[in-house]
């Protein structure tokens, strides 16, 4: 009977599988991370694993704000898990950077104690857009139920922002020192938005704390990138065959991985560059290029590919017409809206993205990419459309994936299903009343002010182009 991956069994792993190149017993916790999902474990934790070989001060305490799944899977494995790198050849690496895993509702004081410890100098997070409790204008939604609760009982927080504010209050009181807080989510100006939300919550109850945070905390912006398909039973079987041990929750990603971090810190920080992180003062340009070119193309492939009957990104890229459409859109419609950051050739970057999309070793489900469209599309495509309108450039191609999203919602509703989206219920109501005609269907979608800014929804050039795209897709053109 095959045994499970653990520290005791690590020596049994074949030599071709990389394993921690350091003594895990000597590793201290220096980073607290919120949101120990698959992306974090193939990305930030992977970078930290590389870093620990030269500096053991930066082990990670993982914190889940709700789910117990990661804790239940990885604690019996002593925090060890496998990253499968799916490229021309498949390689495996066992990650040892996770020192502790906590579930916040079960151990809130343990979470706060670790956040407040002098040895903790960095907090990172991948909690998705929803986890920040932001309103439509990007500031903290003070009416959000979790934020309301944190305002009433700040020393027993439930939200990410509540935990951060209470931890900073404790650090101020104890003299634990400054803290750098790093959002690794796909939010425009993620560090700026995080810092503003933390300041807003602190300001309500303690203006002095808000001033201290301004002096003693840093919120650098970041850009993160690596395609990370969900874990499947097939992956578990392949990892078990490679290790000779069962890994309860391995993760997988493509060979490409990138982390761009703004050169801003409060107090001590890891030597990120030694682990391959790009530290720069120009994160915004990298972020904008990634959001519009990679993420915008991803969403386009998802909605158009699903309408065409494809299931995966690689499968959609085998559709010559669809692949050509997306490539042309990237080069002619998106690239003109971007200013290349130093050291990045946008034409080369586009070609690299298209090559990554074609990677046959990655089974990245279009249905997964299609989640949360109402939150993603404003950043990934609608901003590009607005810039092209202002510059007098064509927007017809860019409107096609927006129309495809609307058809995706309509078709799901016709099947009696809600889409995975914060606006799922409202989208279902819109979709169920659709008639597959732009004149009847578009007004319901365009009334979603969380998605379409008033200036865009009222722009005749945009609405006309969107109507043509919507009716074209309805007719199968």
Domains and CATH numbers, the chain: 10-281 (3.40.50.720), 284-474 (1.10.1040.10)
- Beta-bridge partner residues of 280: 262
Radius of gyration of the chain (CA): 23
Cβ atoms within 10 Å of 258's Cβ, excluding its own: 14
Name the 3-class secondary structure at 100.
strand
Prediction pTM value: 0.83
H-run or E-run covering 222: strand 222-225
- CA–CA separation, 296 vs 225, rounded Å? 13
Cβ atoms within 10 Å of 342's Cβ, excluding its own: 9
H-run or E-run covering 49: helix 44-51
Strands across the sheet containing 222-225: 222-225, 258-262, 278-280
Positive or negative: CA dihedral 418, 424, 429, 430: negative
- CA–CA separation, 286 vs 342, rounded Å? 9
- CA–CA separation, 426 vs 81, rounded Å? 39
Positive or negative: CA dihedral 456, 299, 327, 445: negative
Instruction: Name 356's Cβ contacts closer than 8 Å, sequence gap at least 6.
Output: 227, 254, 256, 362
Positive or negative: CA dihedral 249, 254, 256, 262: negative
- Of 323, 329, 313, residue with least CA distance to 365: 313
Q: How many helices (H) and strands (E) does the chain have?
A: 22, 12
Instruction: Name 402's Cβ contacts closer than 8 Å, sequence gap at least 6.
Output: 377, 381, 382, 385, 466, 469
Full pLDDT tens readout for the chain, 477 residues? 579 999 999 999 999 999 999 999 999 999 999 999 999 999 999 999 999 999 999 999 999 999 999 999 999 999 999 999 998 889 999 999 999 999 999 999 999 999 999 999 999 999 998 999 999 888 999 999 999 999 999 999 999 999 999 999 999 999 999 999 999 998 889 999 999 999 999 999 899 999 999 999 999 999 999 989 889 999 999 999 999 999 999 999 999 999 999 999 999 999 999 999 999 999 989 989 999 999 999 999 999 999 999 999 999 999 999 999 999 999 999 999 999 988 889 999 999 999 999 998 888 899 999 999 999 999 999 999 999 999 999 999 999 999 999 999 999 999 999 999 999 999 999 999 999 999 999 999 999 999 999 999 999 999 999 999 999 999 876
- CA–CA separation, 200 vs 205, rounded Å? 9
């Amino acid at each position: 009977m095959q045994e499970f991956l653990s520290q005791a069994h690590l020596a049994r792993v074949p030599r071709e599988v990389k394993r921690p190149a350091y003594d895990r017993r000597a590793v201290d916790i220096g980073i607290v991370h919120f949101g120990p999902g698959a992306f974090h474990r193939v990305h930030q934790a992977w970078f930290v694993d590389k870093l620990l070989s030269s500096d053991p001060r930066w082990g990670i305490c993982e914190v889940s704000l709700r789910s117990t799944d990661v804790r239940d899977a990885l604690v019996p494995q002593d925090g060890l898990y496998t990253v499968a790198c799916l490229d021309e050849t498949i390689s495996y690496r066992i990650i040892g950077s996770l020192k502790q895993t906590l579930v916040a509702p079960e151990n809130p004081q343990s979470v706060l104690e670790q956040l407040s410890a002098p040895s903790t100098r960095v907090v990172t997070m991948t909690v998705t857009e929803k986890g920040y409790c932001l309103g439509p204008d990007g500031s903290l939604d003070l009416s959000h139920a979790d934020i309301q609760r944190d305002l009433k009982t700040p020393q027993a927080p439930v939200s990410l922002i509540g935990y951060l504010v209470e931890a900073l209050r404790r650090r101020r009181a104890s003299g634990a020192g400054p803290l750098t807080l790093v959002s690794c989510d796909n939010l425009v100006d993620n560090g700026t938005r995080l810092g503003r939300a933390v300041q807003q919550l602190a300001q309500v109850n303690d203006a002095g704390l808000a001033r201290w945070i301004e002096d003693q905390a840093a919120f650098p912006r970041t850009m993160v990138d690596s395609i990370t398909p969900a874990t499947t039973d097939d992956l578990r079987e392949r990892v078990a065959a490679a290790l000779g041990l069962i890994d309860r929750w391995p993760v997988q990603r493509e060979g490409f991985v990138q982390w761009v971090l703004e050169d801003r810190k409060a107090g001590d920080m890891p030597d990120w560059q030694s682990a391959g992180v790009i530290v720069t003062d120009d994160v915004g340009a990298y972020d904008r290029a990634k959001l519009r070119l990679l993420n915008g193309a991803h969403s386009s492939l998802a909605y158009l590919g699903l309408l065409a009957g494809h299931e995966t990104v690689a499968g959609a890229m085998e559709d010559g017409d669809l692949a050509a459409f997306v490539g042309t859109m990237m080069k002619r419609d998106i690239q003109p809206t971007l200013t290349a950051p130093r050291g990045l050739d946008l034409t080369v970057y586009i070609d690299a993205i298209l090559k990554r999309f074609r990677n046959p070793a990655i089974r990245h489900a279009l249905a997964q990419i299609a989640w949360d469209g109402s939150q993603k599309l404003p950043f990934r495509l609608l901003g590009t459309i607005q810039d092209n309108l202002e510059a007098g450039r064509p927007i017809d191609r860019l409107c096609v994936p927006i129309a495809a999203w609307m058809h995706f919602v309509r078709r799901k509703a016709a099947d009696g299903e809600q889409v995975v989206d914060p606006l799922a219920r409202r989208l279902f109501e819109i979709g169920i009343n659709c008639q597959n005609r732009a004149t009847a269907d578009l007004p319901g979608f365009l009334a979603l002010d969380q998605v379409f800014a008033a200036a865009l929804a009222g722009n005749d050039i945009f609405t006309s182009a969107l109507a043509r795209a919507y009716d074209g897709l309805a007719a199968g053109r």
